[in-house]
Structure formats: structure tokens, C-alpha cells
Amino acid sequence: MKFHKEGYASLILVLVFSAIIIFIARYFFPEYAIAQWFAYTLSLFLTIVIVQFFRHPSRQHTKGDQLIIAPADGKVVVIEETTENEYFKDKRLQVSIFMSPVNVHVNRYPIAGIVSFFKYHPGKFLAAWEPKSSTDNERTTVVVKHANGTEILFRQIAGALARRIVWYCKQGDKAEQCGEMGFIKFGSRVDLFLPLGTKLNVKIGDVVRGSQSILGEI
């Protein structure tokens, strides 16, 4: 188990804050044991929360040229035919994965290929389960083109709690299946838009693991 690089700033802030409140409790309220107990307990709680949020477990990746691998940990909350209006501008099969605060927050490429499109969109911070979050929230749009010509679009979507999306890709980059493409701090949602007729291996309510669970086949 490793600590993800995106969490260092948050961890430093928590450690500094913890040092301050412990100092205040010990030197300004030395006669109040409850104040010191509260300071230590709060510091430990916040540190555990940050370490849990930014954990980066080692995993045995599932790979396959025809497989679509889950780009994130979480629960499948949407499977429906919808119109994708930004890039494809036609009907696609949408699969959405909700990432709770207790999930691993690393995002990965679902297939191998070339990043044929990338765009960052500033936006709102609606709750991730809101239908409009897919089009109104802060988000990125990434399209990966497989060697057989199939393109898959997926979005990192911010939520009410997740206020920072990180990405490591740009148009023209080579995408390695299960390779890291980004991080959503404190969870949120990832949407995939697949060709109609894609054979799915999941259903609504299924819990998936990024880089391991098979969503479907190209």
C-alpha cells in the first residue's frame, strides 16, 4: 500500500493543523485533560481520513485487447442509452461509476490506444448522483481510440465534496490499459460512453474495482 502523490499537500496541511491545536491544548489549557484528549483525537482522525482518501494500493491489473476495464473503484449507478452531445453527437451506452469517499480515487484508462480528444470543463459542484452533474459539473472529457478504430469516451466528474480533478493526459498521448490517467480528490463519479451494442459484464448496483473489474467487451 502506497500513499498517492496527490495527497501530500493535504497531509501536510493536516499535520500542521494538528500540531497547532495540540500546542494550544497543551500550553494554554494544561489543566483541562479533555482539551488535550480532543486535540489528539481530532488530529488522529483527520490523519487517518487523509491517509485513507489518498491510499494507492498495489494491484494485479486485468488486461485484454478486447476488454473494457473499470477506470475507477465504486458502484455502477447508471446503465442507459443516451445521446452524447460533446464529441460523438449520437446515441451511446452510458455506464456511470459512483466513487464514494471511502473508495480508492485513482482513475485509469479502460482500454489501450491513443488519446484522440481531451478537454477540461469548469463547472458546478452538484451532488455526483444528480443527472445534470454529467453535463453541468466541473469535469474532463477523454476519448481513447483503440487500434481497431473503436473510440471510448469517459469523464471525470467533480461532485459536492470532490472539488479538484487531476489529469495526466493530453490529446495525442498513448494510453496504456489500466495506466493512471488522473485522480479525483475525495471521490465523485466517472461516466463512460460506449458504442451501442457493447456487451456488458456488469449491472446497476455492482461494485467494481479500478483496473481489475471487466465492464464489457469492445
Q: Which residues are catalytic?
A: 188
Listed residue (86, 190, 195, 209) closest to 146, CA to CA: 195
> CA dist 49 to 10, 31, 44, 56, Å?
11, 29, 9, 14
Quick one: 136 exposed, middle or buried, by C-beta within 10 A (0-12, 13-18, 19+)? middle
Neighbours of 60 (CB within 10 A): 8
What amino acid is encoded at 46 in this protein?
L
Residue 45 phi, psi dihedral angles, 5° rounding: -60, -50
Non-local (6+) Cβ contacts of 157 within 8 A are 128, 133, 134, 137, 138, 139, 184, 188, 189, 190, 191
Cell 488519446 belongs to which residue? 115
